[in-house]
A and B are shown apart, each in its own frame.
Chain A
Amino acid sequence: QKEVEQNSGPLSVPEGAIASLNCTYSDRGSQSFFWYRQYSGKSPELIMFIYSNGDKEDGRFTAQLNKASQYVSLLIRDSQPSDSATYLCAVKTSYDKVIFGPGTSLSVIP
């Protein structure tokens, strides 16, 4: 089992819809969770982090964390073509290392 798993996609949503990105992790002791956006040919950009169970909202983005289910998700409301990118889930494990998932490619269709 890989430490951090994501649906590889590509995920296609129409403009204005909600995009839902999912991530699961194997280390039950993981404490901190991050979402990065990466445009083609660019480096990852931190867009959200969440440390406690529940939801965290920042503008059009909502991160959701369920530690019991070892699941973290990112919702993007009112998706825009500029949101088309690869979204990386990252998890700080109990052994003090940040592990990245393979990323989910999102395409927002105008």
Chain B
Amino acid sequence: DTGVSQNPRHKITKRGQNVTFRCDPISEHNRLYWYRQTLGQGPEFLTYFQNEAQLEKSRLLSDRFSAERPKGSFSTLEIQRTEQGDSAMYLCASSFVAGSFYEQYFGPGTRLTVT
């Protein structure tokens, strides 16, 4: 399977705990994106990487969120001191950006529940 993979698929945590999610993009893709999606809404942009460089981070993202993509391969998204409002589906997508081609392919997502 050469699609985008994410782990874990589900995470239940208590408020105040730290959580980390992993995303493995499609191998030849040079961009990796993180989104958050809540019920009834479209995916909300969090951050993205071009190879290993983090090019943009949403202003909606608090300092409790951090993402890395060491060596331009897999990426991790960490949420520190989780809050109930962090409960959502966290989606990772990757794309090969060349010229105007920007098709993004999503992984299965990690559903986070903060109790």
Question: Residues of A at under 8 Å CB distance from B?
Answer: 4, 31-32, 34, 36, 42-46, 49, 51, 88, 90, 92, 97-103
**Which residues of the other chain, B, contact A46 by a CB distance below 8 angstroms?**
103-106
Q: Is B25's CB within 8 Å of the partner chain A?
A: no
Of the candidates A49, A98, A100, the one having the most CB atoms from chain B within 10 angstroms of its own CB is: A98
Question: Residues of B at under 8 Å CB distance from A?
Answer: 33, 35, 40-45, 56, 89, 91, 100-109
Number of A-B residue pairs having CB atoms within 8 Å of each other in the complex: 51
**Which residues of the other chain, A, contact B35 by a CB distance below 8 angstroms?**
100
Complex alpha-carbon distance, A102 and B107, angstroms:
19
Q: Give the interface SS of chain A, mostly helix, strand, loop or mixed.
A: strand
**Which residues of the other chain, A, contact B108 by a CB distance below 8 angstroms?**
42-43
With contacts A43-B106, A44-B91, A44-B106 taken as known, whether A98 is within 8 angstroms of B100 at the C-beta atoms is no
Would A98 and B104 count as touching, CB distance under 8 A?
yes
Closest to A100 in B: B42
Would B42 and A102 count as touching, CB distance under 8 A?
yes
